[in-house]
Amino acid sequence: MGQWGLGELGSGALQWPHQRQGQTLPTAPRSPCRSENMLRFLSLKFGRLYRCLKFLLLVGLFVILVMNTHNLFASFQRNELTDRRFINLNKCPACFGTSWCRKFMNGQVSFETWGRLRFLDFFNVKNVHFAQYGEPREGTRRIVLKRLGSNQELGDIDQKICKRATGRPRCDLIQAMYKTEFARLNGDVRLLTPDVVEGWSDLVHCPSQRLLDRVVRRYAETKDSGSFLLKNLKDTERMQLLMTLAFNPEPLVLQSFPSDEGWPFAKYLGACGRMVAVNYVGEELWSFYNAPWEQRVDLARQLMDIAEQLTNNDFDFALYLLDVSFDNFAVGPRDGKVIVVDAENVIVADKRLIRQNKPENYDVWYESRVEDCDKEACLSFSKDILCSRVTVDHNYYAVCQNLLSRYSTWRGTTGGLLHDPPADVAKDGHLEALLDECTKPKKHYGRYQAAKELREYLAQLSNNVR
Ligand SMILES: Nc1ncnc2c1ncn2[C@@H]1O[C@H](COP(=O)(O)OP(=O)(O)O)[C@@H](O)[C@H]1O
Ligand SMILES: [Mg+2]
């Protein structure tokens, strides 16, 4: 900075921002005060500049807001679910199905108010949206739309498909699909066999032919479902089935073990592109953490019943829940029924196959081991053991440890769903002892016995209330 800067101060008519009116700066003094004045001059300039920029920013924001008002209104009015690109219908057969496309395109499916604001998607990492579905004569009902993965995961699978087909991360996805293992099954292949899909996801970690026949027979993303023969599916439908199985098998779990037949899962409705529609169940279990004691007892009883039903049923399939947490269950608002809403991580073991193959120790009852873990809602298990034993206590262990007992922690709260029992329940310590034994058994096969007694005890407590 040279002398000329000081000269500008000249008459001293300029004011510092904090200077009172009428007070003027001293005229430029001679050295040694010159550099001090120069600093003052600079901060004076920056102060003005700062105020000016702030003003411009505010004006800018206002203008952007005004200019975008119509966009804001438009996004409230427009139904993006009729847009093929938005629901990634253009990516089929690298998608989850098309059975609900007519409903989407007809505008029968629409986001709920806030869900229409696309910029909020930034926060919706899970890509789960609440929506309305309207049936001409039935009125509307609430549904849930799932993309089955985050944008990152969906992008990754596209890249994998392209890499597998062309060696490059970007390509024509539809063409590429025909060059991947998703196109491995053609009309000449009779059945979907375990060797093709084993290990692709939890549903098929250890698949039996009986399970895969069931998956194909109940596959709803085809016109005439009901056959376990692959020749009855179109090429694209076979690819979509395999793609779903590999990416996130949840829709196939819901279809193969349907709620209509008493399975404790959300009802599968259909898919279009990469949007899957399921019935809205209700608020998540976490919302009931501080519900009245009687209601919590009823929810706990249902959770233990779910653990039992998924472990022992007439179909000889054991469904082990690997992701048991307060946000993966929801409660129906009218009937108070507990439902599993996240079925991505469910291992299905065919007990008939295990009895037939007789792997080592297959008939020795398996007791899940409790291991310390510093994360919330974690579980210890070996997928291979779940797949090779007939009698496994995993589901009781998971429900007791992560939801019911005093050891369960969720969102920083420890105590479990059955926290703070009333004095008459707490006094003999029976409930706490059962929950402790179910979580960290001290006796041999103690968890099996505790789970049984806990179900009986909770049923008795629920009955006393009724
Ligand atoms: N069918 C449903 N009914 C009600 N709420 C649901 C349903 N499906 C999902 N949700 C809500 O959306 C959340 C995320 O869905 P989820 O399938 O668990 O995604 P993620 O696999 O990413 O955990 C759930 O924790 C639950 O609160
Ligand atoms: Mg979840």
Token pair recorded at residue 56: 């411009």
Cis, peptide link before residue 32, omega less than 30° from 0: yes
Contact at 8 Å (CB) between 131 and 112? yes
Within 8 A by CB and 6+ apart from 143, the residues are 109, 130, 131, 132, 133, 269, 277, 278, 279, 280
Closest CA to 280 of 266, 298, 292: 266
DSSP H/E element including 431: helix 430-439
| In-domain check, residue 123 | no
* b (16+ CB within 10 A) / e for 103-120: bbbeebbbbeeebbeeee
| In-domain check, residue 300 | yes
Closest ligand 1 atom to Cα of 148? 21
Q: Which residue's CA is the closest to the ligand 1 atom numbered 22?
A: 126
Total domains in the fold of the chain: 1
Q: How far, rounded to the nearest angstrom, does the alpha carbon of residue 33 sit from its chain's CA centroid? A: 67
Q: Which residue's CA is the closest to the ligand 1 atom numbered 2?
A: 280
Token pair recorded at residue 380: 């210890």
Within 8 A by CB and 6+ apart from 210, the residues are 350, 352, 353
CA distance 215 to 234: 16
- What's the confidence (pLDDT) of residue 34? 52
Token pair recorded at residue 67: 């200019």
| In-domain check, residue 18 | no
| In-domain check, residue 343 | yes
Q: Between the CA atoms of 186, 189, 193 and 195, what dihedral angle is there, to the nearest 10 degrees?
A: -70
Residue 461: give the domain boundaries.
283-465
CA distance 225 to 236: 14
Within 8 A by CB and 6+ apart from 259, the residues are 265, 266, 267, 279, 339
Q: What is the whole-number distance in angstroms between the Cα of residue 327 and the centre of ligand 2?
A: 6
- What's the confidence (pLDDT) of residue 7? 30
Strand ranges in 255-385 using DSSP code E only, listed in sequence order: 268-272, 275-279, 283-284, 317-321, 329-331, 338-340, 346-350
Closest ligand 1 atom to Cα of 278? 1
Contact at 8 Å (CB) between 320 and 310? yes
CA distance 384 to 320: 12
Helix (H, G, I), strand (E, B), or coil: what is residue 365?
A: coil
Burial of 301 (0-12, 13-18, 19+ CB in 10 A): buried
Give the bridge partners for 141, in sequence order.
133
Cis, peptide link before residue 93, omega less than 30° from 0: yes
Q: What is the whole-number distance in angstroms between the Cα of residue 328 and the centre of ligand 1?
A: 6
Closest ligand 1 atom to Cα of 266? 1
CA distance 204 to 206: 5
Closest ligand 1 atom to Cα of 126? 22
Q: Which residue's CA is the closest to the ligand 1 atom numbered 12?
A: 128
> Starting from the edge strand earliest in sequence, which strands make up the sheet with 283-284, in order?
283-284, 329-331, 338-340
| In-domain check, residue 184 | no
Q: What is the whole-number distance in angstroms between the Cα of residue 254 and the centre of ligand 2?
A: 15
| In-domain check, residue 372 | yes
pTM of the predicted protein model: 0.84
| In-domain check, residue 339 | yes
- What's the confidence (pLDDT) of residue 28? 37
Residues with CB under 6 A from ligand 1: 126, 128, 144, 146, 266, 278-281, 284, 327-328, 330, 341-342, 344
| In-domain check, residue 404 | yes
The closest ligand to the CA of 269 turns out to be 1
Q: Which residue's CA is the closest to the ligand 1 atom numbered 17?
A: 342
Q: What is the whole-number distance in angstroms between the Cα of residue 375 and the centre of ligand 1?
A: 20
Q: What is the whole-number distance in angstroms between the Cα of residue 58 and the centre of ligand 1?
A: 39
- What CATH number should be reported for the domain holding residue 327? 1.10.510
Print pLDDT tens along the chain (466 aa). Answer: 333 333 333 333 323 333 333 333 333 333 444 555 555 655 667 778 888 888 898 888 887 777 766 665 566 668 899 999 999 999 999 999 999 999 999 999 999 866 666 666 777 778 999 999 998 888 999 999 999 999 999 999 999 999 999 999 999 999 999 999 999 888 789 999 999 999 999 999 999 999 999 999 999 999 988 999 999 999 999 999 999 999 999 999 999 999 999 999 999 999 999 999 999 999 999 999 999 999 999 999 999 999 999 999 999 999 999 999 999 999 999 999 999 999 999 999 999 999 999 999 999 999 999 988 888 999 999 999 999 999 999 999 999 999 999 999 999 999 999 999 999 999 999 999 999 999 999 999 999 999 999 999 999 999 876 6
Q: Which residue's CA is the closest to the ligand 1 atom numbered 14?
A: 128
Tell me which DSSP letter residue 321 carries: E
* b (16+ CB within 10 A) / e for 403-437: bbbebbbbeeeeebbbbeeeeebeeeeebeebbbb
Q: What is the whole-number distance in angstroms between the Cα of residue 34 and the centre of ligand 1?
A: 68
Query: How many Cβ atoms from other residues are within 10 Å of residue 354's Cβ?
Result: 22
Q: What is the whole-number distance in angstroms between the Cα of residue 322 and the centre of ligand 2?
A: 11
Q: Which residue's CA is the closest to the ligand 1 atom numbered 21?
A: 342
Q: What is the whole-number distance in angstroms between the Cα of residue 341 and the centre of ligand 1?
A: 6
Q: Which residue's CA is the closest to the ligand 1 atom numbered 10?
A: 341
